[in-house]
Every structure is written in C-alpha cells, then in structure tokens.
Structure 1
Amino acid sequence: MLLFFRILAVLEGISYLLLFAVTMPLKYKAGIVEPNLYVGYAHGVLFIGFVVFAAIFCYHKKWNIKRFLIFGIASLLPFGTFYVDKKYLKNP
C-alpha cells in the first residue's frame, strides 16, 4: 500500500510539471491543444487519487490532520509531492 502511494505521489508530481512546463506553453504559444487536454485529464485523475489516497492512508496509519494538510498543500505546489515522498513516505 505504501509503495502504491509513493508511486502515485511521484506520478502526480510528474503530471503537474508536464502540464505547466510543457503542455501549457504548447497550448498558448503554439496553439497545440491536444497534449494539454490529455495531460490535464491525467493530472486531474492523479491529483484526486493522491488526495483521496492521502486521506485513506493517514486514517489507517493514524497520522494527525497536520500531516494530511501537508500532503494536501504539497499536492498544489510544484515538486511538492516529491518532497512528501522523500520526507514522509520513504521512512514512515
């Protein structure tokens, strides 16, 4: 279960970076919409999955609400989920 959560965190971070560093410039500077659409859908699913799985994981591990809030804030920041993986999930 922990391994899945770690993989989900990394994939969510990668999709975030792809969305804003690669596909947004393609959409607004080159007029290519399709990559943004698909990466946006993938990022949305991964983001929701990360937040839901963080809630479930925090509940089962009996972690406090502070840690869940850190996970939630990290999911909104670039490189945030990589930080969560390294700081909290590598050695829970």
Structure 2
Amino acid sequence: MGGALTRYRVIAWIVGVALVVLVLVGMPLKYGFDEPAVVAVVGTAHGWLYMVYLAATFDLSRRADWPLKRMLLVMLAGTVPFVSFYAERRVSDWLAPRPAPAVEPVAG
C-alpha cells in the first residue's frame, strides 16, 4: 500500500496547487483584468490532473478497504481550494505505519 499512498500524496499536492493557482490567480486575472490565458491553461491542466487524482484515490481506497463515504469525501477534496492539502494530511495519518508498542520483559 506504500506505493499507492505515495502516488496519492503526490497527486493530491499537485491538484491542490493547480486549483489554488486557478482560483487565486487565474480567476482574478480573467474576471478582473480580462486575461483568460491562465484559466485556459491551468484550468485544463487541473481537469486532467483531477482525473488522475480520482484514479489514485480510488486505488488507495480499495487497497485500504475504506468505506464508500470516505472514498467519495476524499475524492471531492480535490474540488475545493486548500481542502486537498487537509485531506492528504488526514489520509497520511490514517495510513501511516504505527510503531510497534514496546514490550517489557517479564521478570520472573
């Protein structure tokens, strides 16, 4: 599952950054300054990258045996600015390997 988690984490950050650039840079340029180039390029890239994000999330959710609701919520995280970063942190925490508890020797 380590490879699936790594793929998910990378694409979650890429999609998140693309969406933030689209919303905070592209949209003001398009609607405030009549310059649609950033929206055209970044919007198209985000759309294609979001499809990769959905596939990576689906793959990870099946490997981790998530319930359908969790999978869908994580998938939707790529559509709201900054939420994909939060979701990536939560997913990483859910799936991070936990250290084995220390075993005390039995005195006898």
Q: TM-score, normalised by structure 1?
A: 0.88
Is it true that 1:40 corresponds to 2:43 in the alignment?
A: yes
CA contact (8 A) 2:11 2:53 kept: yes
For structure 1, the 5+ residue unaligned runs are none
Equivalence for 1:87: 90
The total of aligned residue pairs comes to: 92
Is it true that 1:4 corresponds to 2:4 in the alignment?
A: no
Equivalence for 1:21: 24
Equivalence for 1:54: 57
Q: TM-score, normalised by structure 2?
A: 0.76
Q: What percent identity do the matched residue pairs reach?
A: 28
User: Could you list the runs of 4 or more consecutive aligned residues of structure 1 that deviate by over 4 angstroms after TM superposition?
Assistant: none
Distance apart, 1:5 and its partner CA: 1.1
**Residues 14-72 of structure 1: CA distance to partner in whole angstroms, max 9, x if unpaired?**
11111111011111111212111110111101111111211121112222212202202
Is it true that 1:75 corresponds to 2:78 in the alignment?
A: yes
Structure 2 Cα separation of the partners of residues 35 and 74 of structure 1: 22
Distance apart, 1:91 and its partner CA: 4.8
Which amino acid counterpart does residue 9 of structure 1 have in structure 2? A
CA contact (8 A) 2:23 2:81 kept: no
